[in-house]
């Protein structure tokens, strides 16, 4: 049975370093699950960790002004995973974007289908009966599954039509039952996490975070026409370049934003069943991880 190792957890906890170590030991290759490291030119602030020894897939695959979503990630991730399997290696999914990891392991469902604004405009003003008829024509099974309340709700009918017309296949919607997966979660007390995050932010500033933002802006990637305005570590610089904040204030805002993100990540992952958690402050945790992976993989 095909196997996948998943290493997840909050930002700054050392996921990639562990993944590289395990990839060397168990003949693996890494598949990044980071929704911002997919973008070219966004290197320092997103903390792209490259390895000269181990291949890391799905970095630098889109421009900052391109639309890239979980459905795109799902398609590319499975192409890479299948290729890794065919070469007799172990795919190791690593990252903190739980949404991406969930999609690969459990299937997309409807979460990979974004709003179709053209379709919504076309359907605006249609009666409930007309919307029901369209849905029945596109996807009679979905229409039958809707409860009585949803069948009378124009907004939910439009969303159902949107999903029915998306072209998402059953293979994408459903999980792959033939996967033998092991989830490794890394964690630490919040105090430790915050200290590590603050050190990482300071290091990225020293490495040239400000210059990286300048270069992206010079390429006409603006706050409103790209992912810069919605990405932690980039959006905080906007007011600095507008003369509204000092660099020290930007750094503080960036660090606090990373703290908040780490908390959200932990909340999300803690709700997922089946993750084997390891506290990086406890002695011997790496040896325990290696022992667990060896037992599972052999």
Q: How confident is the model over 36-85, as pLDDT tens digits? A: 999 999 999 999 988 889 999 999 999 999 988 888 899 899 999 999 99
Residue 29's closest CA among 8, 57, 50, 59?
57
104 exposed, middle or buried (CB, 10 Å; 0-12, 13-18, 19+)? buried
| Positive/negative CA dihedral, 105, 266, 47, 196 | negative
pLDDT band of 250, cuts 50, 70, 90:
very high
Whether 170 shows a pLDDT value over 50: the answer reads no
Angle, helix 70-86 to helix 98-106, in steps of 10 degrees: 60
Helices (H), the chain: 15-26, 70-86, 98-106, 117-123, 128-138, 140-145, 148-151, 154-164, 170-173, 190-207, 209-218, 238-241, 247-270, 285-297
Angle 234-210-248 from CA coordinates, rounded to 5°: 85
Mean pLDDT, the chain, rounded, equals 91
Please report the beta strands in the chain, taking only residues with DSSP state E, as ranges in sequence order: 3-8, 28-32, 56-57, 90-95, 180-187, 275-279
Residue 193 has pLDDT above 80, yes or no: yes
- Domain 3-110+173-297 top-level CATH class: alpha beta
Q: Check if the beta carbon of residue 13 is closer than 8 Å to that of residue 196.
A: yes
pLDDT band (50, 70, 90) for residue 160 = confident
Mean pLDDT, residues 136-154: 86
pLDDT at 158: 85
Query: Does pLDDT of 115 surpass 60?
Result: yes
Is residue 176 pLDDT above 70, yes or no? no
| Overall average pLDDT of the 169-192 stretch | 79
Q: Judge whether 114 and 162 are in contact, CB under 8 Å.
A: no
- 182-193 burial, b at 16+ Cβ within 10 Å, e below that, comes to bbbbbbbeeeeb
Do 91 and 29 touch, CB atoms closer than 8 A? yes
pLDDT at residue 167 in the model? 61
Find the mean pLDDT for residues 126-145: 88
Among the ranges given (101-105, 167-171, 285-289), the one the predictor scored with the smallest mean pLDDT? 167-171
pLDDT score at 168: 58
Rounded distance between C-alpha atoms, residue 251 and residue 61, angstroms: 28
Backbone CA torsion sign across 142, 148, 152, 154: negative
In the chain, what are the helix, strand and coil shares in percent, each to the nearest 5? 55, 10, 35
pLDDT class for 159, splitting at 50, 70, 90? confident
The residues pairing with 29 across neighbouring beta strands, listed in sequence order, are 91
pLDDT at residue 112, rounded to an integer: 55
| Nearest one of 89, 55, 273, 54 to 185, comparing CA atoms | 273
Mean pLDDT of 223-239: 94
Tokens 């024509």 identify what position? 137
Asked if pLDDT for residue 113 goes beyond 80, the answer is no
User: Does the pLDDT at position 178 exceed 80?
Assistant: no
Can you give the residue ranges of every domain in the chain? 3-110+173-297, 117-167
């Amino acid at each position: 049975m095909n196997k996948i190792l998943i290493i997840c957890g909050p930002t700054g906890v050392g996921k990639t370093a562990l993944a590289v170590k395990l990839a060397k030991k168990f003949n693996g290759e890494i598949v990044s699950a980071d929704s911002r490291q997919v973008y070219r030119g966004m290197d320092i602030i997103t903390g792209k960790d490259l390895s000269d020894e181990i291949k890391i897939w799905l970095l630098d695959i889109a421009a900052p002004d391109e639309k890239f979503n979980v459905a795109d990630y799902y398609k590319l991730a499975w192409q890479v995973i299948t290729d890794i399997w065919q070469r007799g290696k172990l795919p190791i999914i690593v990252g903190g974007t739980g949404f991406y990891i969930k999609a690969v392991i459990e299937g997309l469902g409807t979460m990979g289908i974004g709003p179709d604004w053209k379709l919504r405009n076309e359907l605006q003003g249609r009666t409930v009966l007309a919307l029901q008829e369209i849905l029945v024509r596109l996807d009679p099974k979905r229409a039958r599954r809707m409860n009585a309340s949803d069948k009378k709700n124009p907004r939910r009918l439009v969303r159902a039509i949107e999903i029915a017309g998306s072209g998402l296949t059953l293979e994408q919607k459903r999980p792959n039952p033939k996967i033998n997966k092991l989830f490794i979660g890394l964690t630490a007390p919040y105090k430790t996490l915050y200290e590590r995050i603050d050190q990482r932010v300071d290091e990225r500033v020293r490495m040239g975070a400000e210059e990286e933002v300048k270069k992206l802006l010079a390429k006409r990637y603006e706050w409103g026409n790209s992912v810069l305005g919605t990405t932690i570590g980039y959006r905080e610089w906007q007011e600095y370049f507008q003369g509204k904040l000092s660099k020290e204030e930007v750094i503080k805002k960036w660090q606090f934003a990373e703290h908040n993100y780490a908390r959200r990540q932990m909340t999300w992952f803690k709700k997922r069943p089946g993750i084997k958690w390891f506290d990086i402050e406890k002695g011997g945790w790496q040896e325990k991880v290696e022992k667990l992976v060896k037992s599972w993989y052999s």
